[in-house]
């Protein structure tokens, strides 16, 4: 038997209602904040992500699904949306039509990571990119959007972490300071951190190795070295969050795993999903649009892992999904009424009722069992003596009440069932 590829998961029908609920909350919240949906292709030219996310990052270095297509072009299944959205923004000159573009998306993403709870190789993100504004109002707005969505899902064990990475000039100065601080203890760092020391020194802060964290304990913190403008913007973000009653922590070690960030970064973590605790992450990327060939344009965004969020909801038992039900089950008493049941169900379905009947010529008892299993609100019995006189027996499944109804007057019946 052929099975699904490691790290991918089927979302089977019983799980769909919670996905729909999450998607409807996402759609609603973004609508209220006037963000417009954008959809980009599943795959892009590899160079887009290499340039956008950064050659030295884990995503580009180790995790991308990259292959040569039949015309020998290197393509990559998208590991994230920001680079794709910026590519579309540049390609269609969207900045010329509108000075600020606020986008949102829901899409599958692909990263070849080691699968574990909350980490898959095909996963889904919702997220947003606000391109064209440098105001920290946007940074705060996006954090609030992400937080609101998680709260609307009933999640409680949440921590909002924020930091500022400053502009590249101040960051370079800081990196030199950090290099100096760590140079004496480089040999005591883990192998991964030694590599990061040479390639991407800020990511050392992401190390989970205890001895690395011990060495980093007294390291200088970037937040103390950022430029004035970043510092002021960060103050504005903090004040707006406080005024909006979004609890947050400043995490000076929050460096994020993608290279495009400038100024504000943030993550919202859950205490209920184990080691893969980041439900969402994002930040400002004021240089990316230009780096990908567009006019200098600031941007800010975030993305959230939907599997991880649903796992948190499950672990907090926070979702109240109503049980699925149907409006009507038509039971066929006489076997030769197949075409009549087909016609009748079509009429009701066209009247916008959720209707089911038996396609398998099962016994009346088995049909009744099926109607119960499907939580039918009403059952209509087709056949028998009543039918011969133009009437059908309709049973209300919650009260047990039965009544004879006119078989030809199905619009009236539809209205009755809808009530």
**Rule CB under 6 A: which residues touch ligand HAM?**
80-82, 111, 113, 118-120, 123, 125, 127, 129, 257-258, 278-283, 285, 301-305, 307-308
- In whole angstroms, how close is the CB of 118 to ligand HAM at the nearest point? 6
CA distance 412 to 75: 57
- In whole angstroms, how close is the CB of 346 to ligand HAM at the nearest point? 42
Question: Is the Cβ of residue 127 or residue 383 nearer to ligand HAM in the bound state?
Answer: 127
- In whole angstroms, how close is the CB of 186 to ligand HAM at the nearest point? 27
Sheet of 355-357: strands edge to edge? 355-357, 326-332, 376-382, 391-396, 402-406
- In whole angstroms, how close is the CB of 309 to ligand HAM at the nearest point? 7
- Burial class of residue 185, CB neighbours in 10 A (0-12, 13-18, 19+): middle
Closest CA to 351 of 411, 290, 301: 411
Residue 285: CA count within 13 A, CB half-sphere: 27
Question: Is the Cβ of residue 81 or residue 328 nearer to ligand HAM in the bound state?
Answer: 81
Place of tokens 């990316």: 288
Give the CB-nearest residue to ligand HAM. 305
Task: List residues bridging with 330 in a β-sheet.
Answer: 357, 380
- In whole angstroms, how close is the CB of 44 to ligand HAM at the nearest point? 13
Question: Is the Cβ of residue 27 or residue 277 nearer to ligand HAM in the bound state?
Answer: 277
- In whole angstroms, how close is the CB of 392 to ligand HAM at the nearest point? 51
Residues 6+ apart with CB under 8 A from 412: 406
337: which 2 tokens?
């009424």
Question: Is the Cβ of residue 123 or residue 205 nearer to ligand HAM in the bound state?
Answer: 123
DSSP letter (8 states) at residue 44: E
CA distance 36 to 181: 45
Question: Is the Cβ of residue 119 or residue 253 nearer to ligand HAM in the bound state?
Answer: 119
Question: Is the Cβ of residue 256 or residue 377 nearer to ligand HAM in the bound state?
Answer: 256
């Amino acid at each position: 038997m052929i099975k699904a590829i490691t790290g991918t998961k089927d979302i089977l029908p019983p799980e769909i209602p919670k996905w729909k609920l999450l998607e409807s909350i996402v759609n609603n919240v973004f609508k209220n904040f006037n963000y417009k949906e954008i959809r980009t292709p599943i795959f892009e030219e590899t160079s887009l992500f290499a340039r956008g996310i950064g050659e030295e990052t884990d995503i580009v270095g180790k995790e991308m699904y990259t292959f040569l297509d039949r015309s020998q072009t290197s393509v990559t299944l998208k590991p994230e949306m920001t680079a794709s959205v910026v590519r579309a923004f540049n390609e269609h000159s969207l900045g010329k039509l509108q000075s600020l573009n606020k986008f949102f998306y829901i899409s599958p993403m692909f990263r070849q990571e080691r699968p574990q709870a909350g980490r898959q190789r095909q996963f889904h993100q919702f997220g947003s990119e606000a391109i064209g504004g440098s105001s920290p109002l946007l940074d705060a707005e996006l954090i609030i959007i992400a937080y609101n969505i998680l709260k609307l899902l009933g999640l409680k064990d949440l921590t909002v972490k924020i930091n500022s990475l400053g502009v590249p000039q101040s960051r370079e100065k800081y990196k030199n300071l950090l290099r100096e601080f760590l140079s004496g203890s480089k040999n005591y760092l883990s192998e991964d951190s030694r590599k990061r020391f040479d390639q991407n020194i800020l990511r050392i802060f992401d190390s989970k190795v205890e001895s690395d964290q011990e060495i980093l304990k007294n390291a200088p913190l970037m937040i103390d070295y950022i430029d004035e403008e970043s510092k002021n913007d960060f103050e504005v973000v903090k004040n707006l969050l406080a005024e909006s009653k979004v609890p947050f922590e400043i995490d000076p070690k929050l460096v994020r795993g993608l290279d495009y960030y400038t100024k504000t970064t943030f993550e919202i973590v859950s205490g209920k999903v184990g080691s893969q605790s980041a439900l969402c992450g994002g930040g400002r990327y004021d240089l990316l649009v230009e780096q990908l060939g567009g006019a200098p344009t600031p941007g800010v965004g975030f993305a959230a892992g939907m599997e991880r969020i649903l796992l948190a909801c499950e672990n907090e038992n926070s979702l109240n999904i109503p049980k699925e039900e149907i409006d009507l089950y038509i039971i066929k008493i006489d076997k030769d009424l197949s075409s009549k049941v087909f016609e009748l169900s079509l009429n009701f379905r066209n009247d916008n009722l959720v209707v089911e009947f038996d396609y398998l010529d099962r016994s009346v008892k088995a049909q009744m069992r099926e109607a119960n299993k499907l939580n039918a609100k009403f059952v209509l019995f087709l056949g028998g003596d009543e039918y011969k006189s133009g009437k059908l027996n309709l049973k209300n499944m919650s009260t047990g009440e039965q009544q004879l109804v006119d078989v030809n007057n199905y619009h009236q019946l539809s209205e009755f069932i809808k009530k």
